[in-house]
């Protein structure tokens, strides 16, 4: 029989306690846009989820415009306040891979952020939203000639080059267009952030960037070779600086400071050997958020203050003026701003072993609208949203409707014992990487994105797919 957890149920993880009231919205994950109205229904910025489901369908991604914008603005202002006393200018690029629509791009721009894109499609959305080219960055480890050409014609503010071959390609395309491409060299600083293997991006054995580690027999590191290649192509490339990203869902500031130290050492070496002072350093993003009560994220003020406390020693070790620093939050801004509303279908209790039971609550979506649990083992939580129940909480697993046993939305959560067909569940913190990773697996149409704005007005900012949309691309119909 499984070992008893502190929660009281032998199948529950130790971090998951039995809630005294399953209707409570834990403020760690249910941020200020959520409440329950007089009838017990969960609201998003004052709009009942029952009304959202009635108007816009289920499942649905729901995004609070107020929360998104306040988190974007708060991030920028916190880092500006913390770093300006050090003489450091700050720019913030919203990492649009987390969630990108034309409305989202405009929200970020309105709050003083630039837009980080990682593909031609993301670049196209940002441009269509009216984001000026100089406020856009283009990332990617395998950019096509077409993507680079589009970026150059749009006058993007930076292209983050990821390999020696790409440096040659960008230079050649810039010469064809008679322009100079503003570039940053992405380096891998070798800082091992505590996160999932697939979203850790600063260790050596991965596809992104150029290593800071010196080669055999003292030859220059790949990162230094990339800098030399950019300087040699100065007629076509304007080398703006260095870029790194140590991973995602990170809670501590020490990794960012360690990465800064190593990147600034490369900047110092470039100045010493070629008398070139690179003006910009980008420390990437990856700031974590709370998905469940087991997570303990820090506020952005604390994150910025911690980094500001660590940076002076790093900057003092350099003889150069402080660089312009930029950051790329995505999950931090979009994640808590969004939730997913599902409708319950089948509820089933199974006996696992020796009489121990688990309840499965099936919903009308699943891994097609949230792939993170199956990709990364990501944990989420959920609440019964259309009413308050006084039934005792039962350990439950919220699952989707796909033909996969791994189709899990919430692995472990306590829900009231009388959850039934037709009830609504809300899964919070799905604003980042859920819609972006969504698919049509089993030919499910993808949900729309509903934005709740000031004054409680809701509108679709991405419409729900229909069966006609699914069939439209089949050339033999």
Cis peptide before 59 (omega within 30 of 0): yes
**For residue 204, what pLDDT is reported?**
62
Query: Which residues define the annotated binding site?
Result: 286, 328-331, 372, 376, 404, 433
* Residues 67 and 289 sit within 8 Å (Cβ to Cβ): no
Which residues define the annotated binding site for pyridoxal 5'-phosphate? 286, 328-331, 433
Predicted pLDDT of residue 7: 53
Instruction: Return phi, psi of residue 410, to 5°.
Output: -130, 115
108, 172, 170, 174: which is closest to 135 by C-alpha?
Answer: 108
Q: Which two tokens stand for residue 216?
A: 């055999």
How many angstroms separate the Cα of 394 from the Cα of each of 12, 17, 209, 242, 418? 11, 11, 47, 51, 9
pLDDT of residue 5: 43
Q: What pLDDT does 201 receive?
A: 44
pLDDT of 313 reads: 85
Residue 464 CA to residue 61 CA, distance in Å, equals 10
User: What is the residue-level pLDDT of the chain in tens, covering all 477 positions?
Assistant: 334 344 568 999 999 999 999 999 999 999 999 999 999 999 999 999 999 999 999 999 999 999 999 999 999 999 999 999 999 999 999 999 999 999 999 999 999 999 999 999 999 999 999 999 999 999 999 999 999 999 999 999 999 999 999 999 999 999 999 999 999 999 998 775 554 343 344 446 678 889 998 776 778 899 999 999 999 999 999 999 999 988 888 877 777 788 888 999 999 999 999 999 999 999 999 889 999 999 988 888 988 998 898 888 888 888 889 999 999 999 999 999 999 999 999 999 999 988 899 999 999 999 999 999 999 999 999 999 999 999 999 999 999 999 999 999 999 999 999 999 999 999 999 999 999 999 999 999 999 999 999 888 999 999 999 999 999 999 999
Angle at which helices 300-316 and 254-274 cross, to 10°: 30
Q: 446 phi and psi, to 5 degrees?
A: -75, 145
Question: Please, are residues 129 and 151 in contact by the beta-carbon 8 Å criterion?
Answer: no
pLDDT of residue 214: 78
Per the annotation, binding residues for substrate are 331, 372, 376, 404, 433
Question: What amino acid positions are annotated as catalytic residues?
Answer: 403
Torsion angles phi and psi, residue 196, rounded to 5: -65, 145
Instruction: Identify the pLDDT of residue 1.
Output: 35
Query: Looking at residue 298, what is its pLDDT?
Result: 82
């Amino acid at each position: 029989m499984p070992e008893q957890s502190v929660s009281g149920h032998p199948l529950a993880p130790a971090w998951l306690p039995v809630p005294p009231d399953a209707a409570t919205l834990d403020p760690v994950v249910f941020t200020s846009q959520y409440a329950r109205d007089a009838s017990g229904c969960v609201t998003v910025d004052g709009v009942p989820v029952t009304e959202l489901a009635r108007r816009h369908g289920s499942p649905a991604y729901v995004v609070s415009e107020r929360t998104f914008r306040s988190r974007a603005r708060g991030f920028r202002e916190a880092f500006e306040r913390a770093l300006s006393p050090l003489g450091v200018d700050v720019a913030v690029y919203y990492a649009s891979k987390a969630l990108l629509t034309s409305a989202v791009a405009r929200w970020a721009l309105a709050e003083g952020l630039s837009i980080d894109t990682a593909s031609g499609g993301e670049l196209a959305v940002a441009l269509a939203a009216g984001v000026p080219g100089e406020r856009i960055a283009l990332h990617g480890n395998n950019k096509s000639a077409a993507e680079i050409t589009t970026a150059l014609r749009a006058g993007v503010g930076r292209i983050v080059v990821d390999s020696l071959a790409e440096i040659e390609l960008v230079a050649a395309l810039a010469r064809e267009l008679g322009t100079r491409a503003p570039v940053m060299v992405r380096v891998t600083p070798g800082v091992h952030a505590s996160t999932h293997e697939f979203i850790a991006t600063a260790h050596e054995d991965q596809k992104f960037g150029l290593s800071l580690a010196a080669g055999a027999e003292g030859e220059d590191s790949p990162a230094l070779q990339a800098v030399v290649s950019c300087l040699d192509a100065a007629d076509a490339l304007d080398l703006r600086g260095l870029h790194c990203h140590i991973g995602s869902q990170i809670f501590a500031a020490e990794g960012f400071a360690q990465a800064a130290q190593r990147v600034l050492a490369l900047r110092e070496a470039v100045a010493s050997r070629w008398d070139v002072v690179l003006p910009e350093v980008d420390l990437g993003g990856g700031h974590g958020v709370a998905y469940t009560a087991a997570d303990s994220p820090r506020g952005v003020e604390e994150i910025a203050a911690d980094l500001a406390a660590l940076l002076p020693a790093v900057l003092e070790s350099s003889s150069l003026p402080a660089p312009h620093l930029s950051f790329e939050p995505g999950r931090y801004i979009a994640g808590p701003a969004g939730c997913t509303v599902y409708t319950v279908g089948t509820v089933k209790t199974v006996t696992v072993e020796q009489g121990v039971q688990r309840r499965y609550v099936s919903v009308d979506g699943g891994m097609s609208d949230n792939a993170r649990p199956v990709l990364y083992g990501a944990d989420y939580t959920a609440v019964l949203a259309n009413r308050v129940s006084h039934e005792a909480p039962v350990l439950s697993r919220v699952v989707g409707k796909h033909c996969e046993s791994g189709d899990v939305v919430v692995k472990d959560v306590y829900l009231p014992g009388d959850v039934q067909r037709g009830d609504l569940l809300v899964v919070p913190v799905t604003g980042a990487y859920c819609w972006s990773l969504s698919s049509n697996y089993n030919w499910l149409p993808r949900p729309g994105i509903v934005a709740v704005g000031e004054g409680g007005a809701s509108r679709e900012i991405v419409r729900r797919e229909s069966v006609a949309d699914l069939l439209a691309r089949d050339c033999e119909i």
